[in-house]
Chain A
Amino acid sequence: MAANPILEFELPLYQLEEKIEEMRELGKSINLTKEIAELEKKVEDLRHDIYKNLTRWQRVQIARHPARPITLDYINGIFTNFQELHGDRSFGDDHAVIGGFAQLNEQSVMLVGHQKGRDTKSNLYRNFGMANPEGYRKALRLFKLAEKFNKPIITLLDTPGAFPGIEAEERGQAEAIARNLFEMSRLRVPIIVVIIGEGASGGAIGIGIGDRILMLENSWYSVISPESCSSILWRSWDFKEQAAEALKLTAKDLKEISVIDEIIPEPIGGAHRNHSLMFDILKKTLVSEIKSLIKEKPEKLVNARREKYYKLGVWEEK
């Protein structure tokens, strides 16, 4: 796979951009300023059209884009003095989940996030961002540490799912996730959750309970991936586009049913087109959210968090 592959629906854009490059070359000998400007305007319009009307499946593709910023990029781009903390103190250190101390401007925070890799080698090391039980247990250890010293928690979600393996089952994948949901619902410090890429199922929500749930514009979050949903409900891998539509897994969809609190806009074309702008946008929101959350009394914070989850769901009472 190329380092920066072009998604199918982005192709016309890249073709136009190439054309502009060619004209710039030519422009060294003849004056093409006007033509180039026209073409640039065309690119802008096209870019706007394409990205305002993405299908849900196209957003899933952006969420998985190999050049999309991943947890460590956000840590380096937004925070200072990151000190990674390793291990669950029981079994080992899971490389698919990272966490540690960091500063957001002057504020100390505890960071925890799923960590994917960038290439084959680092993806194998990170297990493609699929955590084992010790990953969730490390996360919980760090959450408790944050609670003990009264520091807000920020979690970054980006996983294709908790790892489905023999050893994961032996060590209690389900128990580890369940315990985190239980404990996160009652932590007496603010928790901000940011879905930065893929939020697949229990593996995502296992570090995803919080006071404020933020979601990047081109991320997805659901109970299952479109591919697996297709294979189970349609009994074929060929219905992933339909499954993505049916699951209503985009930030806009989830805001409408109150599963998330806020959509974080991405640079046009997706976060991968402009990392530093993405970091600036997210940082601004994090700073303002933390500022308001740290003023809350712990009891009030926990109660409001619980009440928020208690209200989630749609049913009919006859």
Chain B
Amino acid sequence: MAWFNRQKANINTEQQREMPDGLWTKCPSCGEVIYKKELELNYFTCIKCRYHFRVGSNEYISFIFDEGSFVETNENIFSGDPLDFTDTKPYKERIADSIEKSGFNDAIITGYGTVNGKKLSIAIMNFSFIGGSMGSVVGEKIYRAAKYSLDKKVPLMIISASGGARMQEAALSLMQMAKTSAVLAELGEAGVPYISMLTDPTTGGVTASYAMLGDINIAEPGALIGFAGPRVIEQTIKKKLPAGFQRSEFLLDKGFIDFIVDRKELKEKLTSVLQWFEK
């Protein structure tokens, strides 16, 4: 983060000069400049305004699972290029670049582990991989995570962060909405719990399938959650959208979220929810 924020942050300039660049970050919500180490200790939430920074699957694994308990599964599934898709860049290249840049093989990881000793199967999306878009790999990995839950009778959790279906797989991406919803229906019939957690942002085909289908739907504070993106709505109705529109608190108010959970309390809340299902 650039140094010109220092006045606002009210940090001693002398001290700051000695800091190598990149150790501080600025809260996009309140402008507070936070020492990165402190941000990390605070679950990547702002120490002043509680703003939840976007994080990826590695962070959620560390927030949720007992140390050393997490086992990743299905890590070797990669996107194909079924339609030989090219826009301004071939899809194959886009995938290769995203793998290199994000460090993930696709927009989701799956696995299982224990949460205060309770077993949990999980799928976590990574927004950093092509906007967390859902293509065949995301669909297949969710399918497999749900099948694992079904076989082992272990609750399933999906943490969503996505701009929606992946355009480069066109109709096949659309079919992943059906595939994931169908396997969740099967899971539901077997009486295995499914917890959906929506994080910033969750929109489009992901919201309109598995993200809204939890036995409970929970969300992080301030997350953008919707079907249509705000820009599309503004273009359609030619009006500015009200403040707070499509944020977690709005969805809670409209009845689509069971509760909002602060990251700091996620593990404890999750434990008590898992306990409710158990006993």
Residues in A lying within 8 Å of B, measured CB to CB: 162-166, 168-175, 177-179, 181-183, 185-186, 201-202, 205-206, 208-209, 221-224, 229, 232-234, 242-243, 246-249, 253-254, 257, 259, 305-306, 309-310, 312-318
Contacts and interface: CB of A to CB of B under 8 A. Distances in A.
B88 interface: yes
A314 to B, nearest CB: 4
Interface of B: 76-80, 82-83, 85-88, 135-137, 139-140, 143, 165-167, 169-179, 181-186, 188-189, 204-205, 207-213, 225-228, 232-233, 236-237, 239, 241-242, 245-246, 254-256
The B interface is mostly helix, strand or loop, or mixed, namely helix
A257 B177 CA distance: 16
Given A175-B256, A223-B170, A310 B143 contact: yes
A221 B178 CA distance: 14
> 4 smallest A-B Cβ distances: which pairs?
A313-B136, A164-B228, A181-B181, A185-B182
Contacts of A174: 207-208, 211-212, 225-227
A205 B178 CA distance: 8
Contacts of B78: 315-318
B140 A315 contact: yes
Contact of B213 (A171, A179, A223, A232): A179
A314 B174 CA distance: 13
A211 to B, nearest CB: 12
A317 B140 CA distance: 11
Nearest to B237: A165
A306 B207 contact: no
A169 B227 contact: yes
B144 to A, nearest CB: 10
B170 A247 contact: yes
Nearest to A246: B85
B181 A185 contact: yes
B174 A248 contact: no
A312 B176 contact: yes
Nearest to B166: A223
Contacts of B183: 306, 310
A181 B207 CA distance: 12
15 contacts: A162-B227, A165-B236, A169-B226, A172-B256, A178-B212, A179-B213, A182-B188, A205-B178, A206-B208, A209-B178, A223-B165, A233-B88, A312-B175, A315-B78, A317-B77
Contact of B170 (A186, A222, A234): A222
A249 to B, nearest CB: 7
B176 to A, nearest CB: 6
Contacts of A316: 77-80
Contacts of B179: 309-310, 312-313
B119 to A, nearest CB: 24
